[in-house]
């Protein structure tokens, strides 16, 4: 999706279990699972967290994180980078 004049593009990454029973829902943006990690919670040894990433269009970094938190309530921030209009994701994320 092409950003409007007020919006910016962000390459954003976070951790989440991505489990429906933990409140995660299908977002209106495409996202990728780029890896996994063991959960820090000692009580939950049978589930891993996903390393997720997405290209999100928003008016600010905080608004981009709000979009993530709406669909991944268990999210843990990893990074966010503002991207130029001519930026193209690597072939890994096509």
Task: Say what the pLDDT of residue 73 is.
Answer: 97
Task: Say what the pLDDT of residue 68 is.
Answer: 98
Summarised one tens digit per residue, pLDDT across range 6-30 is 789 999 999 999 999 999 999 999 9
| CATH number of the CATH domain containing 55 | 3.30.70
DSSP state of 80: E
Q: Which domain holds residue 70?
A: 8-84
Summarised one tens digit per residue, pLDDT across range 38-86 is 887 667 668 899 999 999 999 999 999 999 999 999 999 999 999 987 8
Residue 79: inside a domain, yes or no? yes
Task: Say what the pLDDT of residue 39 is.
Answer: 83
Please say if the pLDDT value at position 1 is more than 60: no
Tokens for 21? 């029973």
* CA nearest neighbour of 24 among 1, 42, 44, 50: 50
- Give the number of other CB atoms < 10 A from CB of residue 66: 11
Residue 1: inside a domain, yes or no? no
Burial class from Cβ neighbours inside 10 Å (0-12, 13-18, 19+) for residue 32 reads middle
**Distance, CA of 59 to CA of 43 (rounded, Å):** 38
């Amino acid at each position: 999706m092409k950003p409007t004049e007020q919006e910016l593009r962000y390459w954003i990454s976070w951790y989440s279990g991505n489990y429906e029973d933990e409140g995660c829902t299908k977002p209106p943006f495409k996202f990728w699972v780029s890896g996994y990690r063991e959960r820090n919670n000692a009580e939950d040894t049978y589930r891993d967290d996903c390393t997720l990433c997405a290209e999100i269009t928003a008016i600010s970094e905080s608004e981009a994180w709000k979009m993530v938190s709406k669909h991944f309530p268990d999210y843990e921030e990893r990074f966010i980078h503002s991207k130029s209009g001519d930026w193209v994701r690597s072939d890994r994320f096509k």
